[in-house]
Amino acid sequence: MSAALTHADILAQLVDLPSLPVVVMELLDSIDQDNVDISVLAKKVSYDQALTAKTLRLANSSLYGLQVKVTTIQQAITYLGFQTTRNLITAAAVTGCFAEGQCAGFDHKAFWRHSIATAACAKVLARQMRFNQDYAFTAGLLHDIGRLVLVSCFPQHYERVLAYRAAHDCFPLEAERAVLGIDHVEAGVALAEHWNFSDTMKLAIAHHHDPETPGAGFLSAIIHVADAVVHALDLAQMADGVVPPVSSVAWTALGLDEEIYLHLFRETELQYEEIAMVLLS
């Protein structure tokens, strides 16, 4: 077995990872800025036709239930607001960003199905908790992005992770640590820094497996529960979809009753189908 990877190894490889389109980087930078010229950003996005098409399909999906059909990014911003539109653009960009098939045995489509389902569930949960739904959707979509970093940067290493996992019937996190010495959470945080994600987003990615950590933030509890719910519903139809252990702290913090969860399950399934159709087509 080769030497374990370090945080520095990941950082060195990030340079070779696909960059997000420049305009998406600008959008992410704009999260905490007040004086953004939205019309300029809308115009820049519209130059990227594939990105625009995908974003508009999402905006017109039942996820938002708009009464009108939006046909431009500027219209999407008018009807959905800047923050929601920005998150849809990010979702459309990120899902098309990583090449498939470098790592034998890694199911790229199942990965995104799980991520999209978690995003849908997190959004529904956030609405229930009166928490920012856009943050929840984006964090849900990107919570496991570190796995794609590892698969893309170290495909041979990751094939061994998959083999170890099959042999030991354990969670991905345990297999990654055993084989690589580093896990997808660390890789995800490194990418989140590289891509200028907000601190809120970085915390959610960093703590979606241990939301009870002091300072982890409420969003990580939402993502943690959404991740578990989606595994339990098996929406992504993953070959080895083991339900991860659920933090009682996070579960209690959300304080939802059984009836709300049943509604949540239905809503998640409906939204998942539609978002998957748009983002994976």
The token duo for 136 is 């929840």
Superfamily classification of domain 1-18+99-281: Hypothetical protein af1432 (1.10.3210.10)
> What's the token pair of residue 243?
């339900």
CA distances from 135 to 9, 91, 108, 148 (A): 29, 12, 24, 21
What is the DSSP secondary structure assignment for residue 241, as one 8-state letter?
-
**Cα–Cα distance for residue pair 124/207, rounded to 1 Å:** 20
Position 161: which residue type? V
- Residue 23 is predicted with a pLDDT of 81
| Amino acid present at 140 | G
Token pair listed for 67: 């009464």
Sign of the torsion angle spanned by Cα atoms 162, 176, 152, 9: negative
- As a whole number of angstroms, the distance between CA 158 and CA 104 comes to 9
Note the pLDDT tens digit of each residue in 89-142. 988 888 888 888 889 899 988 899 999 999 999 999 999 999 999 889 999 999
User: Which residue blocks in the chain are alpha helix, DSSP H?
Assistant: 7-14, 22-29, 38-46, 49-59, 73-80, 82-94, 108-128, 133-142, 145-153, 155-168, 172-180, 184-194, 199-206, 218-233, 248-254, 258-280
Query: Contact 249/165 with Cβ under 8 angstroms?
Result: no
SS (H, E, C) 114-160: HHHHHHHHHHHHHHHCCCCHHHHHHHHHHCCHHHHHHHHHCHHHHHH
What pLDDT is recorded for position 1?
A: 47
What are the structural domain ranges in the chain? 1-18+99-281, 20-97
What span, in angstroms and rounded, lies between the C-alpha atoms of 235 and 212? 26
The pLDDT assigned to 82 comes to 86
- List the chain residues with pLDDT less than 70: 1-3, 18, 31-34, 239-241
Return d(Cα 138, Cα 204) in angstroms, integer: 10
